[in-house]
Structures are given as C-alpha cells and as structure tokens.
A and B are shown apart, each in its own frame.
Chain A
Amino acid sequence: MNGAQHILEAFHRHNISTVFGYPGGCIMPLYDALVDDVGVEHVLCRHEQACALAADGFARASGELGVCIATSGPGATNLITGVANAYMDSTPMLVITGQVPSGLIGTDAFQETDILGMTLGIVKHSYLVDDANALPAIMEEAITLAQSGRPGPVWIDIPKDIQLTEIEAPAATTCVQPDSHCPGISEALAILYSAKRPLLYSGGGVSLAHAEESFRAFANASALPGVVTLKGIGNPGKNHPHSLGMLGMHGSRAANKAVDECDLLFVVGARLDDRATGTLNTFAPNARMIHIDADTAELNKLRPADLAMRGDLNRILAAFTEALAAEPLAISSWQRQCKTWLTTGGFQAADNEEALAPIAGPAFIRQLSRIAPDDTVIACDVGQHQMWVAQHYEFDHPRHHLTSGGLGTMGFGLPAAIGAQFANRNNTVINVTGDGSFMMNAQELATIRRYNLPLKLIILDNQCLGMVRQQQELFYNNRESHINLDDNPDFVAMARAFDIPALFIERTDQIRRGIETILAYDGPMLLHVAINREENVWPIVKPGGSNKEMIDETRRTNTNSKEPAA
C-alpha cells in the first residue's frame, strides 16, 4: 500500500465512513485512492471552508470524529476558519492536507504554504509527515488524540510524494487513552452539602465527554437549580424543572440573578468564557466553586476553584449521583426562589396576535420550536437569530443545537447543517440563519442539491447585520456603520437557481403555514422570512460589562415567558 491507501486504511480501522473535502494538485494521490474505495463516502463541498465546517457539524451532531481534506496552498488556507472554529469549541476533527513534494518544501513552489506554521495556534496538535513509514503511526495517533481528553482538531500535512510512497511499516497499534481519575469526591460532597444556595453551571464539555446521561442523572438526583452556557443548551433536557436557561450576555435575567445570589457554583464542563461570565470581578461574588473538567488548563484559569476536579465527567458525575441519591440535598427554599425568578425573569417574547403585523424574530423561533419534531437538529449561524434560537427554542439534547460558540463564525450554519444531515440522515435538520451569515457560504446550496439532502433553510432577513446594528444603536450612539444589507439578492430566486424550492413570508399569520410547508416537503426547501429591522436581542449585557447590569427592553405587553414545569 502507498501512503494514500494507508490513510484510507486508517479510516476503515476507525469506522470513519464520511469525509468532507475538495481535491487539488498535491492531494491527488489520496483522491486517486478514493476511486477504488467503496467504504468511505466523500462529500464534495464547494469551498474548503465549508468542508471544515461540515466536518465540524458532522462531529457535533454525531459525537464522532469529523474529517476534512484539502489540497496545499489555498485549499489548506481556506480550511483555517473552519479548523479555528473546531478548536474554539473543542470539536474532534481530523484535517488532512496535501503538501508540495518534500524536495520542493521551502522553495516557494506553486501552491506551497507553511500550513503547519500558520495553524499552530488553532490545532490540538499537527504533523508534517517527512517519512512515509511514519505515516501509519501518525494517522493512528492523530485520530486518537483528536477524540481523547478535551477533543480538538488535529492536522496532518502530507507531501505529495509521501502519499505515493509504498510503505513497509505495519499499521500502528491503538494509542492508550489518557488516564482518568476521580479525586476529591468526599471533599466536594462536603462543600455541596454545606451550601445553602448551590447552582449547577454546565457547558459544552458535557456532550464532548459523551456524558449526557450521567449529567441528567446527576441533575435529577441533585435537583440543583441550573444554568447553561451557549454550548450547554440542551444538557438538562426539555422543560427540566430546575433549569433557568442560558446565562451571560444574552442570558435570562433569572439565570444571571441565580449566579449572582448563589453561594456555590458547581461547574461541569464549562470554561467560564467571558460571554458567559461578564466581567469576572462581579461574577458570582458570594460563591465558592467546584470546577469539573477534562482539561487541567481550564481549571483555575480565570477564577480559582475551591475544589478543582479533572477527569472523566461520566465517572465523576456518577460518583456524585450515587451519593446524592442516598442523601439528597436540602435546598427547597432555594429551589422555590429560583422558580420565582424564572417566572418573572425567564426569556420572554411577544406573540403578536395581529395577523398582518410584521414578523418578530423571537416569536418566529418560538413557533418553530412548537412545530418542529423533538429530535430536530438546528444549526445556527451567528448574530441575532443565533441568540433568539438559544433563548426561545426548547432543545431536548445538546447535540440538537449546533452553534459556533467560541469563534462566532458567520457562515457556520449551512455547512454545519450539511454535516449534521449526513450524521442524522433521517432527522429533520434546519439551518436557521440571517441574511448576513447566509451569504458567507451560500455556495453550499449546490452541495445540498448534489446530494439531495432534505435540509430546511430558514433565513431571518432584517436586511442588515442585526447584532452589529443593535450594538451600534445601544453603545455607539446609534451611529450605523456599514451594516446595511438592503441590496440583498432575491433569496427565493437564488434558491430556485440551485433547484431548491423556496417560499417568502412577511406577516405574522404566515408563520405557521410557512414552517409547516417546509417541514412537510420531501426534500430541501428554503423559507425566506422578512423580519423587523429594528428588533433587538434582549436582555443584553454591554461587552466587558457586568452581568448585574443587564439591559432589558423586552415588550412587557402580550408576552409569554417560558414557564417552569410543574
């Protein structure tokens, strides 16, 4: 076998059956090997950035490794945003790029870039293969490393001649998983039992550790009031009785109030990101903290923990659950207080009853949440619509909510939805996007058509960069600067040009029928939704400000809040 065939052999050994890529000169040996391979489905996207983002979406939705492939030079550099996105959100990803032949490296050859050097800061690890016989071991190590501990992207840059070299070395043995231990349970329980107002704070680390079930068992056994980060949405399940929703910059007033008042933060799989905490010196000022994470470097990074526990979340949470089932916490008055805050300070959105009224983004998302099946996967882009989804859509599982949390990548949603559809071929997958984000990777409509994916696309079109406009309005004296997009193309005509049917709606009484129509259609369909230009995301904390200082101008009349479950 040559190097290229060894790459495919490693895919087979690890049950990697779907990869996203784009061919080119220096990766041609691998593409040649793919011709004879029936076990790997290669998905051709229309831009390398979309390959990486689709691999990311595939990984998030499936819990498996995402794989993307590109050629050297511009192919590799186009991957960078998608790989940075995966790095920031700890998505397990394998990136394979072709490189110019070994003898030409360093000569400024055609399509040569030092992609290893360019990407050091956005990978968990990376390799430039300089010995063909090392390739099998590198593949093995990279696949294991990308998925172990705190996952992340691992990049292998492979010169063209290495892909063509016959390799003598046998396939490497599987790497051992990193150690996992469960220290400090007794001490942590003592802290937990002594707290009067303990609060569960969970993030994306729960699903990254495949600890969804352990988390729910713990949440139920502890009955702790809980808040979630953007990436932790769905951790507690739909309508969990003690869930207060998302905290932070666009979190609920109830969640931020509970953080402010708690005397213990029980942090699981979260990294205390600035969008969640606001300014740190006023964050949870009266709380001790137990911090549980797979990554040692996240412990004590931004705020010292009273007890830091590194290890496998499944094992650690199971140990807590066992203890708490035997001796429950006595926190009923704190639970009642949190429910009161949820009633008065949960996310609210106007349900406008006027049939001819323009469509408000939050009201649309609430309707979508009511109508779409429970196992629907929503892939968002970045901006106001992303926050409305986070606030108003009820998710039953964290893998149903795909969002670019760390990097905030406009253009993430459409390719991520493509990846999610390949991971969940029978589920409804919807890309909820904005008019700005949609145009960042609109070429992927061709990928949807090519593979006849039954994806649904919803563009909430306010003819501007809404989140930037909102911050210019609130924090820059309403001086609008380069946010106007009122010369957008006709999105319905654009979809139809890709042979994707599309609808346009603009009035409140069209919402239900529009959603039901695209969901019922047997194939891809786009819904273009004109929404109020001036609608803002509430609440909001000024960037760099304190979560104590939320600005909330949600219309109080005719609003519905998410009611706590009985």
Chain B
Amino acid sequence: MSPQADTSMTSYTVNCRMNQEAAALERLCQVVRVRGFKISRMTMESAGAHLDIALTVEGSRSVSMLQSQLEKLHTVAEVAVVQAKGVRAVS
C-alpha cells in the first residue's frame, strides 16, 4: 500500500463533474499530478453551472486514493472511475 511500492502502471478513465469556478480545472489537474498520476487524455464540456471532465490517467498508485482526494475538492460534485485498462510494466 506504500505509495512507492507498486511499479506497474495502470490506465484509468476518471469522470468528474465540477462546479464552474475560478481555477476549477487547475485544481483538478494539480491533484492528479501531486497524487502520482499522469494525464494522457482529457476532454471537457461546459454544461450550465457545471464542467464535465473525462480524464484518462496513468499511475502505479491506488486509483481509489486519487478518487478520494478528488472528491475532497470543494468544487467537485461527482467522481467516477469507469474503467481500468491493461497493466504494463514500467521500463
């Protein structure tokens, strides 16, 4: 469970709904980076007072940890991890 323990990289798709506020997207991206994941794809749509963001992220740490950290953001209304793709070894 140690953050450094797992050396394999897994790809996940994470869907977030956020409130439209200053720096909303920056907050999201910063948490992803700080918690040890890399964004490989991102799409965003503005929907009224919300932003719907779909991230494809890669990382070796627990995605549930990332999810719980994203859910702590005050502007995040909802986070769903919808998919986990194949595992590959880090070279």
Contacts and interface: CB of A to CB of B under 8 A. Distances in A.
B80 to A, nearest CB: 16
Contact of A296 (B1, B21, B23, B71): B71
A117 B2 contact: no
Nearest to B74: A125
Interface string A121-138: 100111110100000000
Contact of B65 (A117, A120, A301): A301
A304 B65 contact: no
Contacts of B41: none
Contact of B2 (A126, A128, A281): A281
Tell me if A's interface is mostly helix, strand, loop or mixed: mixed
Interface residues of A, number: 22
Contact of B74 (A124, A280, A301): A124
Contact of A116 (B5, B22, B69, B72): B22
B30 A121 contact: yes
Interface string B52-91: 0000000000101100110111110000000000000000
A299 B64 CA distance: 11
A15 interface: no
A302 interface: yes
Contacts of A299: 68
A308 B22 CA distance: 34
B1 A120 contact: no
A145 interface: yes
Contact of B69 (A120, A130, A297): A297
B64 A302 contact: no
A130 B22 contact: yes
Interface string A281-310: 100000000000001110111111000000
A385 to B, nearest CB: 31
B65 A300 contact: yes
A304 B62 CA distance: 11
B64 A300 contact: yes
A280 B71 CA distance: 25
A297 B66 CA distance: 9
Given A120-B27, A297-B69, A304-B1, A128 B74 contact: no
Interface string B16-50: 00000111001100100010000000000000000
Contacts of A120: 23, 26-27, 30
Contacts of A295: 72
A299 B30 CA distance: 21
Nearest to B61: A301
A116 B30 CA distance: 13
A302 B1 contact: yes
Nearest to B75: A125
A479 to B, nearest CB: 28
B27 A280 contact: no
A130 B20 CA distance: 13
B19 to A, nearest CB: 11
Contact of B72 (A280, A281, A297): A297
A127 B22 contact: yes
Contacts of A128: 22-23
Contact of B34 (A116, A121, A301): A121
B34 A303 contact: no
Given A121-B34, A130-B22, A302-B2, A297 B71 contact: yes
Contacts of A301: 65, 68
Contacts of B22: 116, 127-128, 130
B1 A280 contact: yes
A281 B2 CA distance: 8
Contacts of A121: 30, 34
Contacts of A280: 1-2
Contacts of B1: 280, 300, 302-304
Contacts of B62: 300
Contact of B68 (A130, A297, A304): A297
Given A125-B75, A126-B23, A300-B64, 13 more contacts: A120-B23, A120-B27, A120-B30, A121-B30, A125-B74, A130-B22, A280-B2, A296-B68, A296-B71, A297-B72, A301-B68, A303-B1, A304-B1
9 contacts: A120-B27, A124-B74, A128-B23, A281-B2, A296-B72, A297-B68, A297-B72, A303-B1, A304-B1
Top 8 nearest A-B pairs (CB, nearest first) are A125-B74, A297-B68, A128-B22, A280-B2, A297-B69, A297-B72, A303-B1, A120-B30
Interface of B: 1-3, 5, 21-23, 26-27, 30, 34, 62, 64-65, 68-69, 71-75
